Amino acid sequence: MELAAELATRVLIMQNGRIVADGKPREILTNQELLRSARLEPPTLTKVFSEMNATDRTVGAEVPMTVAEARALLSRWTT
């Protein structure tokens, strides 16, 4: 999933030989319900920041998908 977040321009989710989702990585890989229904885990950073947002509203609604995005977001929080 981390590679898909870093490299893909399009993500497809298949179940039982059928496409159930097709879209941009951010759209697909941040959709917790969709991933759960397909028995997939989101990228690690996406999962961590989503959980932080669910428990601490002060961190903001942004959810990074890549290390570069996480670094930029964290640097904004600390300045």
60 band by pLDDT with thresholds 50, 70 and 90: low
- List beta partners, residue 11: 23
Listed by start position, the domains of the chain span: 2-78
Q: What is the pLDDT of residues 6-58, one digit of tens each?
A: 899 999 999 999 999 999 999 999 898 999 999 999 988 888 888 887 776 55
Contacts of residue 3, Cβ cutoff 8 Å, sequence gap at least 6: none
Predicted structure pTM score: 0.74
Question: Containing H/E element for 14?
Answer: strand 11-15
Q: Can you give the pLDDT at residue 64?
A: 85
More confident residue, 76 or 59: 76
